[in-house]
Amino acid sequence: MAKGLRAKTRRRLRTARREHFQEIQGKSDQQKIVQRLNNPYYDLRSDFSVKANAFVEPNNPQAVFPQIAKPNIMDFRSHKMAKGGWTGVNNFRKIHSENAIKSKYESVVKTNEDLERDAQNKEQQMESDSEEEVQVAQSKAKKNYTIDDIMQLDSKLSIGKKKKQAAPALQASNPVKKEKKKVFSKKSKKIIKF
């Protein structure tokens, strides 16, 4: 049985063809019309009048040799159209619609130039980090301590025991009884006790 005009795939294909035609030829045609409308000195004869034939009138300086007009052939094959791949049957198009819920993570596309630039930035950052590390290492270099310096540091030290932490009151009073755990259900958002 043949497909009707209202078939989904036919409608998608017509939409893809219409958008493809608009991108290739429709925008330029509309631009020409807008320029004609906005030009107050526009004359129809400049675009639509037939030029004099140079074969018939060889002495006329404005005569032009007639040329065969190249046919304007639009390529509506699906692999040549922007959305042609989505017009077929059994394609999953939901992720490409505007109303679909998108992922919060967007893919990042990097060109070779971007990758080279990132590599150069990393190299520069590594060089600057190594210079900083050298400066820090020089600042942290071991100092020559004398016995008097060590004695002063020793006097600042304090040695003592840590105090024990007091046990919680609930555990001391009822060691058998356990606390009820609170669990949140994802669906109902209610607290479930057990």
Chain segment 99-157, per-residue pLDDT in tens:
777 777 777 778 888 999 999 999 998 888 887 777 766 666 666 778 888 788 777 77
Determine how many CB atoms are found less than 10 A away from the CB of residue 36. 13
Does residue 66 sit within a domain? yes
Domain coverage including residue 63: 8-96
Does residue 42 sit within a domain? yes
Which helix (H) or strand (E) covers residue 170, if one does?
Answer: helix 169-173
Is the model's pLDDT at 87 over the cut of 60? Answer: yes
For the record, the structure tokens of 63 come out as: 């005569």
Q: What pLDDT score does 29 carry?
A: 95
pTM for this structure?
A: 0.45
Res. 23 pLDDT band, cuts 50 70 90: very high
> What distance in Å separates the CA atoms of residue 141 and residue 137, rounded to the nearest whole number?
6
- Mean pLDDT, rounded, for 60-64: 94
> Which residue has better confidence, 73 or 178?
73
Does residue 47 sit within a domain? yes
> Which residue has better confidence, 93 or 72?
72
DSSP-derived secondary structure letter, 53? B
In degrees and rounded to multiples of 5, residue 162 shows phi and psi of: -80, 145
Residue with tokens 């600057």: 128
Which helix (H) or strand (E) covers residue 183, if one does?
Answer: strand 182-184
Phi-psi region of 26 (alpha: psi -120 to 50; beta: other; left: phi over 0): alpha
Does residue 35 sit within a domain? yes
Does residue 26 sit within a domain? yes
Is the model's pLDDT at 64 over the cut of 80? Answer: yes
Residue with tokens 């330029």: 28
Q: What pLDDT score does 185 carry?
A: 54
Burial class (CB in 10 A: 0-12, 13-18, 19+), 87: buried
Question: Mean pLDDT for the chain?
Answer: 80
Q: What pLDDT score does 140 carry?
A: 65
Q: What pLDDT score does 141 carry?
A: 62
In degrees and rounded to multiples of 5, residue 119 shows phi and psi of: -65, -40
Does residue 111 sit within a domain? no
Is the model's pLDDT at 19 over the cut of 90? Answer: yes
∠ Cα 127 129 131 (to 5°): 70
Does residue 133 sit within a domain? no
Res. 59 pLDDT band, cuts 50 70 90: very high
Does residue 193 sit within a domain? no
Q: What's the number of domains the chain is made of?
A: 1
